[in-house]
Each structure stands twice: as structure tokens, then as C-alpha cells.
């Protein structure tokens, strides 16, 4: 596994090295506790979740003060935005984007106090994430995806949004 620093301190781009492909298909190791620990990433994950969405669905930007997340794309392709929401950080409100897909097999490790949102770029995409805490919506924050103070670039201007992400819930 290759661990690459990003523009945001504490956010890492991961490239899995255990990839096996033959005439039957492909095998990819997404998580190996020993490899993570050897890379200096000591996170105890307790929950795995997926969301399946169609083209132009935008989910997020959500986060909480305690959860580390490991993001992967199992199928399709999506545009991922990570925003620093730590008011004590010199990078507060800075963001970075990534494109994750089933073909590039990249992963993003997102620390606590960061929000993340993703926009589906293909007909369908499966967004997978491991969490270091159990899901607790009451502990989450939501940042408006098009808040002008962030000046986030999104590949579409009229995404499909939930009521929560529209700011009406």
C-alpha cells in the first residue's frame, strides 16, 4: 500500500498494492490492519457502510468531530470533496477533491472534524466507507455543498440532493 500526503493535513490518498487480475476478473485488498499500522495509520474501524447512487446524486458534505473514515469506490466513479471543519486548524474551511473509481482503486483516509461529500459521475456508483465509530447522526455536522465561502468546484451545477443536503431538513 502506498500512502500519499494531500494538500490537507491528516487526509491521505491510498493506493492499494495487492491487486490481482486474470481472465476471471480482479481481486483488490482494500484493508489490511497490519499494512495500515506499518504505514503509521493506527485506526480501529468498527463499521462498514455503502451507499449506492445514480448519476448526479450529491451526498454530503457531512462529518463529525470523532470519526475517521476510509473511502473507496467499489463500482463506478465519483467526485469526492473533503473539507476541513476544524475551527482550531490553520486549514479551517479549506477543501480538496479526488476522483475515485473502480478502475483507479484509490482510497482516501479522512480524519475527524473533516466533512466529505461525493457526486456520482457514472450511471451508478457504490461508495464504500469504513468508520472508526458507530454512525450517530445527532453528532454530525452538515456543510452546504454550494456555500459560496468554500468556493468548491463541482462537475455539475444542478445535482440531485436530499432534503438534508438542500438545507430543508
Residue positions annotated with a catalytic role: 62, 129
Strand-pair category, 2-5 with 95-101: unpaired
Q: How far apart are CA 129 and CA 123, in angstroms?
A: 20
d(Cα 134, Cα 46) in Å, to the nearest integer? 7
**What are the distances in angstroms from CA 78 to CA 82, 88, 144?**
13, 30, 18
Amino acid at each position: 500500500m502506498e500512502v500519499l500526503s494531500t494538500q490537507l493535513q491528516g487526509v491521505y490518498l491510498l493506493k492499494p498494492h495487492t491487486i490481482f487480475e486474470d481472465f476471471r476478473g480482479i481481486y483488490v485488498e482494500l484493508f489490511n490492519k497490519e499494512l495500515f499500522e506499518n504505514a503509521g495509520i493506527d485506526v480501529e474501524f468498527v463499521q462498514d457502510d455503502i451507499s449506492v447512487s445514480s448519476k448526479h446524486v450529491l451526498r454530503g458534505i457531512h462529518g463529525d468531530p470523532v470519526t475517521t473514515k476510509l473511502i473507496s469506490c467499489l463500482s463506478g466513479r465519483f467526485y469526492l470533496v473533503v473539507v476541513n471543519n476544524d475551527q482550531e486548524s490553520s486549514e479551517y474551511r479549506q477543501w480538496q477533491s479526488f476522483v475515485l473509481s473502480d478502475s483507479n482503486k484509490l482510497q482516501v483516509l479522512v480524519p475527524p472534524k473533516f466533512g466529505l461529500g461525493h457526486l456520482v459521475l457514472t450511471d451508478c456508483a457504490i461508495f464504500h466507507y469504513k468508520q472508526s465509530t458507530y454512525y450517530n447522526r445527532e453528532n454530525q455536522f452538515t456543510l452546504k455543498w454550494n456555500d459560496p465561502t468554500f468556493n468548491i468546484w463541482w462537475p455539475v451545477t444542478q445535482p440531485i440532493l436530499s432534503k438534508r443536503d438542500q438545507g430543508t431538513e
